[in-house]
Amino acid sequence: MNPNAKDHGSPPDFTDAAVVAGRMQSTLISNTVTEAQWRRHISECIEYRFHAAMIPGSWVRKTVEELRGTGVRVASFIDLPLGTMTSTGKAREAGVLVQDGVQEIDLMPNVGFLLSGMEREYFNDVRGVVQAAARVPIKIMLELPLLSMQQRERAIALGIEAGVEYLKNASSGAVGIATPSDMIFLRRLAPPNIKLKASGGIKTAGQVRSLLEAGADLVGTSAATQIMREWLGKADVLGGFSNPAY
C-alpha cells in the first residue's frame, strides 16, 4: 500500500505511522547546506517514505535523480523567506525548477504588496509563478500572523484566483506556529478542491496529528525525522532539531 495515496473509502488513520509519514514534507532549508547534509536528508526521506523532500532549488536536479522510483516527491521553494524578488524573477525561477524536475513549489508572495493594498501587484506576483510552473502545484505561504482578518481573507481569495493548489498558513516558526485553528480557518474559506499545508514550528508527533485531524493535507517541518522517531518510540532525547524555525 502506498502511504501517499488517499483512501477515499474511509477516513485516514492518523495513528498509523506510515499514513502520517506520507503526509509529511521533510524540509531542508539553509544557506549552508552541504552535500553530506543533503545526502542524509534524502536518505531519511526514503527511509521513512515522507511525502516529499523539500530542498533548495540548487539541489533539485540531483534530488530528482536520487529519488527517482522511490515514491518520494521533490519539492522546492521560491523567494523564502522575504518574498521581495521581482515578480519576473520569481516566474523565471519557477520555470527553471520545473525544467529541473521539481514536482511541487512553495511560493513566498510579496506580502508588502498586500499590506499596501496593492492587490493587483500581489495577484500578478502569484499568477506569474503559477503560469510558469504549468502543471506543477503551487503552495502559497500566506503568513497569516502578519495579516489582519480582512487581509487574510483577501490573501486567500487572491491566491485561489491566481491558481494556487495549496494554502499554507505561514512560512516558518519565525512567523508563527502552525495551529489546528489555522487549518480550520483555511478550510472554512477555501473550496474543497484547494488543499492545505501546515508549516511553522512543528516539532512533535502530537502537533502533526492535531494538524492533520484539523484538516491539513500536508505538514512541512525540518523535524520530520525526529518526529517519526518519536512516533515509533525511538526519539533521541539528547538530540535537537536542526532548524526549528521551519
Per the DSSP assignment, residues forming a β-bridge with 54 are: 27, 75
Segments in the chain forming alpha helices (H): 17-21, 35-48, 60-67, 87-100, 111-115, 119-133, 149-162, 180-189, 205-213, 224-231
Rounded (to 5) percent helix, strand, coil in the chain = 45, 15, 45
* Cα angle, residue 211 at apex, residues 209 and 214 outer, rounded to 5°: 110
Q: Which of 139, 195, 197, 203 is catalytic?
A: 197
Catalytic residue status for 106? yes
Q: Is the dihedral of CA 23, 57, 168, 230 positive or negative?
A: positive
- d(CA 46, CA 66) in angstroms, rounded, equals 10
Query: Residue 196 in 3-state DSSP?
Result: strand
CA-to-CA separations, 122 to 112, 129, 159, 162, in angstroms, rounded: 8, 12, 9, 10
Q: Which of 79, 90, 106, 203 is catalytic?
A: 106
For residues 116 and 88, is the Cβ–Cβ distance under 8 A? no
- d(CA 11, CA 139) in angstroms, rounded, equals 24
Q: Which of 139, 168, 195, 203 is catalytic?
A: 168
* Rg, Å, the chain Cα set: 17
User: Which residues are annotated as catalytic?
Assistant: 106, 168, 197
